[in-house]
Structure 1
C-alpha cells in the first residue's frame, strides 16, 4: 500500500477517452482562457468600482452584472480542463503570466472609455473562444465545444450591451 508521500506525488491524470494530444492542447487552451476570464472579471469589477458621472447607476449595475457572468464561467472552465485529464491555474502569478487581456491601472478612466475598452476585450475573448472551439472540433471534444458555444453567446451579449450603452447618439 502506498504511503502518504506517494499519494501526494500521484499524477492528476483524470481518465479520458480523448487523446493525450487533445488533453494537452485543449486543457492548455482552457487554462489560457481562464486566465483571460479572470483578468477581464477583475477589470470589469475595477471599472464597476470606479465608474462615475451622470450614468453612474446604469453603468455601475451593468458592469456588476457582466462581472458576475464572467465569474460564473471560471469554475466550469477550470473543471473542464480537469475532467479531460489536464490541469489548470494555480495562482494569481500564473494568471498574470498567461493573460492576454491587458490590465488598466489608470487612476481615472472616462466612463465611456471604460465601456469601449471592455467591449473590445469581450470581443477579443469571443475570438479566442472561437479558436478554442476549432481546436475542440479538431480533437472531437464536443463537450468543451458545447460549453464554448454558450460562453460565446454570453460574451457577444456583453459586447452588444457595452456597445449600445456606450453610444453617444445616432451619429
Structure 2
C-alpha cells in the first residue's frame, strides 16, 4: 500500500495558481539560467585551479568565493524548476545545449580569465532578465524574487571583477 500511496502522490498535478503552460515557459527559462550558472561555476572553478601571475593569491581566493556562491545558486535554481513541476537539466550535454556562456579554451592569462568571467557574469544577468516577461505575466513572485537576487549577485560580481582591470 505504501508504494501505491507514494506513486499516487507523485502523480498529483501542480496546482499553485500558475497554468501548466506558464510554468513550462518559466521552467524553460530557468533551465537556461541553470545551464549558464553551472557553466560559469565550472569556468570559475577551472580558473581558480589554473590562475598564475602576480595576482595569483587575490584571484585564487576571489574565484574560490565565486564558485562556492555559484554552487549554492545552481541548487536554488534547480529546486525552483522542480517546484514548478518540471525536471531540472543536469548533464553536461544539457548544459552545453542551453548555456549562452562559451567554455574557455586552454589556460588564458589571469587578465583574460577576469575578462571571461565578467562576460559570464553579465551573460547570467541577461538570461535572468530575459525570463521576467513570462514571470511577470504569470504573477510568479517566488521566481521573480529568485531572479532579482541572482541578478544582484552577478551584477555586483561583474563590477568587482571589472574593477580589477581598471
- Could you tell me the TM-score, scaled by structure 1's length? 0.87
- Which 5+ residue runs of structure 2 have no aligned equivalent? none
1:36-115 alignment to 2 at 5 Å? 36-106=36-106, 108-115=107-114
Match of 2:135 in 1: 136
**Considering only aligned residues, what root-mean-square deviation do their CA atoms show, in Å?**
2.1
Inter-partner Cα distance in structure 1 for 2:21 and 2:83: 15
Query: What is the rounded CA distance, in whole Å, between the counterparts of 1:141 and 1:95 in structure 2?
Result: 24
Which residue in the other structure is 2:153 paired with?
154
Gaps of 5+ in 1: none
Cα shift at 1:143: 0.8
Once the two structures are superposed, residues 2-21 of structure 1 have per-residue CA deviations (whole angstroms, 9 ceiling, x without a partner) of 977xx49x658533221111
Name the structure with the higher helix share.
2
Number of residue pairs matched? 164
Contact 1:44 1:118 survives alignment (8 Å): yes
d(CA) in 2 for partners of 1:112, 1:138 = 41
After the TM superposition, which parts of structure 1 deviate over 6 Å for at least 4 consecutive aligned residues? Answer: 1-4
Per mean C-alpha deviation after superposition, the further-off stretch among 158-167 and 12-21 is: 12-21
Q: Deviations over 1:69-90 (max 9, x none)?
A: 1111111111111112222113
